[in-house]
Amino acid sequence: MNPHATHFQQLYQRDDDPWQVRRRWYEQRKRQLLLASLPAQRYRHVYEPACGNGELTAALAVRAERVTASDVSPTAVKLTRERLARKPGGHAQVSVHCQRVPQDWPLDARFDLIVISEMAYYLSRVDLAQLRDCCINTLTADGVLVLCHWRHPFNDRMLDTTAVHATFDASGSLFRLARHDENDFLLDVWSRSSRSVAQREGLAP
């Protein structure tokens, strides 16, 4: 197990909610802002790497026909599966895997929504570039990519949040649909298509 995987495994073994994503209003609000920023009401296939204990996964499952989620920590994967099992119907359309990204990215799949939340700043610049390419190469023609990241310094951070998002902005293959910019976090929504929400709904030319 690589050092990052060991670190996260130990975190989730000590506490099933190490960042209090269930309890903190900050996290609840951020999650609702992310969901409200999605340009479509429903998605065919969502991919959420670094799913943690599955709080966002469960919310995405309500709006998706299929969700693929993953985490580098086996304990986080177990917690996500347990979280989903408690929901009515058990969210049978969700599959959860133990994966390290970008190395284990499912390159043979196609997603119309990819959500990268609170994980890209742990990567090296080389891995970040690979992550960006994986996202772009597995998005459908109208696919949407969301990045959401904490802005303050912390010990495990490898990259600055602004630099992470700028790497995706500079790709030349993505159109930014929305940005929510706060002192605490940065949320960006891009798509392979430049159509706005109103255009997707047929309200604007």
* CATH numbers and ranges of domains, the chain: 3-200 (3.40.50.150)
Q: Is the pTM of this model over 0.75?
A: yes
Quickly state the pLDDT bin for 3 (edges 50, 70, 90).
low
56 or 91: which leads in pLDDT: 56
pLDDT at 89: 60
Q: Is the per-residue pLDDT at 2 higher than 70?
A: no
Q: Is the per-residue pLDDT at 90 higher than 60?
A: no
158 or 1: which leads in pLDDT: 158
Cβ neighbours of residue 144 closer than 8 Å, sequence gap 6 or more: 38, 39, 40, 43, 112, 113, 114, 177, 189, 190, 191
- The C-alpha angle with vertex 135 and arms to 134 and 138, in degrees rounded to 5, equals 80
CB atoms within 10 A of CB 184: 9
pLDDT at 101: 96
Q: Is the per-residue pLDDT at 24 higher than 70?
A: yes
Location of structure tokens 């969210």: 91
